[in-house]
Chains A and B, each alone.
Chain A
Amino acid sequence: GAGVSQSPSNKVTEKGKDVELRCDPISGHTALYWYRQSLGQGLEFLIYFQGNSAPDKSGLPSDRFSAERTGGSVSTLTIQRTQQEDSAVYLCASSLGGERHQPQHFGDGTRLSIL
């Protein structure tokens, strides 16, 4: 079956511009996660959605970052007024439920480069 789908696969933009990254989770998965993978910081958690509950935003690095999940499926991560330190691979993952033992399935990521 289809895995987690992310788009675009690559995004190059100028400093100060806003970007939107999209994640389409595996069908039927109620939990969705965003992570960031960068050279200096490794893999870092950003935000977590589970069903209709309020998202866990504890990993968002600044108020320039926000995310939405519409209809319990597709999610969009938005970065406003991008900075060079935002350059990273943004990974989305989904899991069947919110239970901690459920493994997370990752997408291929969006490689974001800020000029």
Chain B
Amino acid sequence: AQSVSQHNHHVILSEAASLELGCNYSYGGTVNLFWYVQYPGQHLQLLLKYFSGDPLVKGIKGFEAEFIKSKFSFNLRKPSVQWSDTAEYFCAVNRNNAGNMLTFGGGTRLMVKP
């Protein structure tokens, strides 16, 4: 079935460590890609998005993601995490020929130890 996969369900890091969260999708054709973050007790917030152009996208709070079309991937990265990055991260895709709804990955819970 077509889907969005986040293979890391739980990640624990110490402050200042580098972060990379994987996201793969299985759709063909043109896609739009998003990363959302949900801090404890808060609503989903957009971190960054890719539609076209430069495949390396920079978002808020020092996050970036790289779209690699040949690998159907859109991995999220941050060179040095902070305790305040503790949250759940969701990758999402919408396809240009399949309506406006987002299809989400299962999420990755990140815990950053101070």
B-binding residues in A (CB < 8 A): 3-4, 31, 33, 35, 42-45, 48, 50, 56, 58-59, 91, 93, 95, 98, 100-101, 103-109
Contact = CB atoms under 8 A, between A and B. Distances in A.
Contacts of B32: 100-101
A42 B46 contact: no
B34 interface: yes
Contacts of A50: 100
B106 interface: yes
A98 B44 CA distance: 19
A108 B42 CA distance: 7
A31 B100 contact: yes
A43 B101 CA distance: 11
B104 A103 contact: no
A109 B101 contact: no
Complex A-B, nearest 4 residue pairs according to Cβ-Cβ distance, in ascending order:
A43-B104, A45-B101, A106-B44, A101-B51
